[in-house]
Every structure is written in structure tokens, then in C-alpha cells.
């Protein structure tokens, strides 16, 4: 007879884990010095030296360029606005198609819609959860102009293959590397391989300044266009003498001096934070190895993984039980796992095609001549993983000690030892009755 917590036994994990907090004396001192200066943001939306922001913003950009070995960095107030600036900079026009992953944060796709362009979702690789180059190639049409590739969960997509397809078809590539700062792909940092890389500095990421983001590029023209879009481009193009007026609808994507000061200190900690995550992942992998039907994160040869999420998969033909039921049992033991990621193409906005107004824009606009589909079944791998395979443990929420990791492993092992009992009970939304429980426990 088992003592699974889901059947009333004691949970392996009795206390919530400690939340990550990498904000310390360094950030505190940096913020104080900005506060005392009285200048909390130095941007101005006219063509003047302060068009590029204050000293902390510019210092962060130079520091980011040096760390990531890239020519240019543009600090912005979120990854979402960074993606919008990036797509505007590469010259996306109304009705263009941009290929994007369904297995990413929604902003990877909405940043396309913002320019009245059309997100086209390609399917993902089942082992890395990243965009599948084969599926990308199948989605290319005469209208395709770019690919937004997410380096999801902390590992690069198959960037060599994707860049090759892009170059062959004259497409630009933007890397959404919000979840993979410090990850490497054949020795280069993730974010520096595509035309533009966009990092996030929001609270939930490896390093953060509350909100914030940084775009990187080696292309000076794209760099200047992103700087313009960040800060009211339309008001300065004349004074700056900008000839390419397309997408010069400038926004206010400006980062404050306070965020920049915090981000500068945070970047100094990135190496250590990444190693901490990798150590947790390594210990988890060693402890969970060999559990029947459970696949652990796959790391592509030549890549490093920085484990934003420890992404697992369950093969129910091996476990004899659906992953949702295993998830339920693990949650009862106190393991903070999740059973779903996202399938962005299935969001109501795409299903109902309601984005700008209620008349189906931009899909029904005269400038769009394509027929994109967002139906169930357009991304079978991503859909099936979400429904039947995926189980994930976020590693950027809590600070896991070795002891914590060992408890998580113990909880998994406990559930796996009792899989037969779990399987025998017919799960439904109704709670398991005592009678049902007793019957199962009496059967050998």
C-alpha cells in the first residue's frame, strides 16, 4: 500500500522552496546613486546627445556588447518592445509573413502583428521544443520575409540550419533569447547568431531589472533603426537625415537609469547564475535517470543549456498513465512542476482572427494575399507535446539547494514506485473515493 500524497499520505516536500533573489548590496548601491543624482531617465525624443539615453543606459549597452561579443546593443524597456523594434528595423511591411514558433511566449508572435504582418506558425522539434528547420522550410511562401526563432527553455534552436534556410530564401532572422542568456551555440552566444537577438530583463528571467530588455546586432543600419524606433523616430528622422522612412513610427521603449543601473550589476552575476542552474539540472538529471517513460532534457551537441525550464517528457505507453495524472501526483508531493507550456497559434486571437478591430485585420486586409491556417493540427508536434508528453520544472523561480533537489528526486521516485497504484485508479475530475482506494490497495 502506497503513501502517495494524492491518496492522503504525507507529501515529500512539506515547505515551499525559497524564491530566487539575486538582488543584493551591489544593486542597492547602484540604485541609490541614480536616485541621488535626481536624473532617473535622461532620454529625450529630439535629435540631441540625450536621444541615446543617460550614462547608465549607455554603460549597460557597452557592457552588454563586450560580454556578448557583439557590435551593438540597444537597451529597451522589455523584450516585447525589443522584438517590436527589431521587426520594425528589418523592414517588415503590412501583409508580410513571418515564421514563428507556437512554443514560445506570446510576444514573439504579437510583435509581428504590431507591424500588420502575419504570424505563420511552424512546428517544433520534439526533443528540444525549438522550431524545426524542416517545418520552417515547408511554411515559406513568396510572402515570407523573416523568422522569429525562440531559444526556448534555455537552449539554442538549430541555428546553423535555420540561418542557412534564411540566407537561401533571403529572410531575416530575429532570435528571441529571453530564456537563454549565456547559452552557447558552437561557442557563440545565443542572440549573436541571427541578424538581431533580443534579451529580456523581466523579473522571471535569469537576470533582471524588474522590467527591461536588450537588443543586439552586428549590423549598424539595424542598430540605428532600433535606436530610432525606441525613441519617437518620427520626430527625429528629419533632423538626423534618415532616408528610409518605413517603420519610423517611433515608440517609447526607453529604459530608465534605475533599471540600467540594476541590469549592469545583474550582468556581472550572469556567469554564476548560469552555473547554478546547470548544477541543479545536472543533479536532477542524475537523480531522475532511469525512471521508466521519463525523458530528461536533451542538449544538442556543441550547445550549452542554461535551463530556464527543465523540460521533460512522459511516454504514456511506457508509464501506462497519462502525464496529467503523474503531474497531479507530483504536485501533491509538493513538486512545482507544470503540465502545459503554450501553443500560441491556438490562442483566441488567432482562432477568431480578432486583432485590430473586429473585421479580421490584418488577415482580411487587401494587402494580405495569403491564407494562413491556425487550425488544430497545424503544429502536430507542439500540440501533442502539450496534450500528452510535456512536463516542465521552471528553474528560474526558486533557489534549489542540493537538499531541495534531492527532495524533488525523492518525490519523483515515490510516484514512479507507485505508478501501478496510480494507474489502477480511474482518475476523473472527481476526487478518489475511500472505497475505490481500498479496492485498489487490496488488489495485489
Neighbours of 14 (CB within 10 A): 9
Q: Which is nearer to ligand PLP, 6 or 76 (CB)?
A: 76
Q: Which is nearer to ligand PLP, 41 or 80 (CB)?
A: 80
Burial (CB count <10 Å: 0-12, 13-18, 19+), residue 394: middle
Q: Which is nearer to ligand PLP, 198 or 326 (CB)?
A: 198
- H-type alpha helices, 39-97: 55-68, 79-89
Burial (CB count <10 Å: 0-12, 13-18, 19+), residue 222: buried
- Cα–Cα dist 246/235, whole Å: 14
Shortest Cβ distance from residue 298 to ligand PLP (Å)?
A: 19
Which residues are at the interface with ligand PLP (CB under 6 A)?
78-80, 104-105, 107-108, 150, 176, 178-179, 200, 202, 213
CB-based contacts of 203: which residues, under 8 Å, 6+ apart? 210, 211
Distances (CA, A) of 267 to 62, 150, 189: 12, 21, 14
Shortest Cβ distance from residue 118 to ligand PLP (Å)?
A: 19
Q: Which is nearer to ligand PLP, 145 or 208 (CB)?
A: 208
Shortest Cβ distance from residue 330 to ligand PLP (Å)?
A: 23
- Cα–Cα dist 7/15, whole Å: 19
Q: Which is nearer to ligand PLP, 179 or 378 (CB)?
A: 179
Q: Which is nearer to ligand PLP, 9 or 336 (CB)?
A: 336
- Cα–Cα dist 364/341, whole Å: 30
Shortest Cβ distance from residue 23 to ligand PLP (Å)?
A: 17
Shortest Cβ distance from residue 63 to ligand PLP (Å)?
A: 18
Shortest Cβ distance from residue 150 to ligand PLP (Å)?
A: 5
- Cα–Cα dist 365/242, whole Å: 29
Amino acid at each position: 500500500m502506497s503513501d502517495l500524497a494524492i491518496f492522503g499520505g504525507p507529501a515529500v516536500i512539506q515547505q515551499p522552496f525559497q524564491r530566487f533573489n539575486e538582488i543584493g548590496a551591489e544593486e542597492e548601491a547602484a540604485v541609490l546613486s541614480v536616485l541621488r543624482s535626481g536624473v532617473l531617465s535622461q532620454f529625450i525624443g529630439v535629435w540631441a546627445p540625450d536621444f541615446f539615453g543617460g550614462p547608465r543606459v549607455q554603460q549597460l549597452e557597452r557592457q552588454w556588447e563586450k560580454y556578448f561579443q557583439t557590435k551593438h546593443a540597444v537597451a529597451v524597456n522589455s523584450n516585447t518592445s525589443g522584438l517590436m523594434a527589431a521587426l520594425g528595423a528589418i523592414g517588415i511591411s503590412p501583409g508580410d509573413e513571418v515564421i514563428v514558433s507556437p512554443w514560445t511566449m506570446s510576444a514573439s508572435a504579437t510583435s509581428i502583428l504590431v507591424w500588420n504582418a502575419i504570424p505563420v506558425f511552424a512546428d517544433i522539434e520534439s526533443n528540444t521544443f525549438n522550431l524545426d528547420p524542416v517545418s520552417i522550410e515547408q511554411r515559406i511562401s513568396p510572402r515570407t520575409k523573416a523568422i522569429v526563432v525562440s531559444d526556448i527553455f534555455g537552449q539554442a534552436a538549430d541555428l546553423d540550419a535555420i540561418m542557412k534556410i534564411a540566407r537561401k530564401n533571403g529572410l531575416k532572422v530575429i532570435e528571441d533569447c529571453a530564456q537563454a542568456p549565456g547559452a552557447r551555440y558552437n561557442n557563440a552566444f545565443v542572440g549573436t547568431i541571427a541578424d538581431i537577438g533580443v534579451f529580456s530583463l523581466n523579473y522571471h528571467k535569469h537576470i533582471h531589472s524588474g522590467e527591461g530588455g536588450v537588443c543586439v546586432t552586428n549590423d549598424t543600419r539595424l542598430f540605428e533603426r532600433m535606436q530610432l524606433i525606441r525613441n519617437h523616430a518620427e520626430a527625429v528622422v528629419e533632423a538626423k537625415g534618415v532616408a528610409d522612412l518605413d517603420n519610423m513610427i517611433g515608440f517609447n521603449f526607453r529604459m530608465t537609469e534605475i533599471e540600467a543601473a540594476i541590469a549592469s550589476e545583474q550582468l556581472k552575476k550572469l556567469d554564476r547564475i548560469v552555473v547554478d542552474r546547470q548544477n541543479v539540472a545536472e543533479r536532477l538529471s542524475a537523480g531522475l535517470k532511469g525512471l521508466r517513460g521519463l525523458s530528461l532534457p536533451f542538449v544538442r551537441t556543441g550547445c550549452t543549456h542554461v535551463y530556464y525550464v527543465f523540460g521533460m517528457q512522459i511516454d504514456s505507453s511506457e508509464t501506462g498513465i497519462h502525464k496529467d495524472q503523474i503531474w497531479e501526483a507530483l504536485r501533491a508531493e509538493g513538486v512545482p512542476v507544470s503540465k502545459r507550456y503554450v501553443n500560441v497559434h491556438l490562442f483566441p486571437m488567432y482562432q477568431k482572427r480578432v486583432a485590430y478591430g473586429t473585421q479580421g485585420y490584418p488577415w482580411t486586409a487587401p494587402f494580405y494575399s495569403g491564407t494562413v491556417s491556425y487550425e488544430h493540427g497545424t503544429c502536430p508536434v507542439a500540440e501533442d507535446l502539450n496534450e500528452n508528453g510535456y512536463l516542465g520544472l521552471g528553474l528560474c523561480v526558486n533557489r534549489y539547494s542540493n537538499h531541495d533537489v534531492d527532495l524533488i528526486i525523492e518525490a519523483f521516485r515515490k510516484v514512479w514506485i507507485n505508478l501501478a497504484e496510480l494507474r489502477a485508479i480511474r482518475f476523473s475530475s472527481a476526487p478518489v473515493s475511500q472505497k475505490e482506494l481500498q479496492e485498489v490497495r487490496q488488489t495485489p
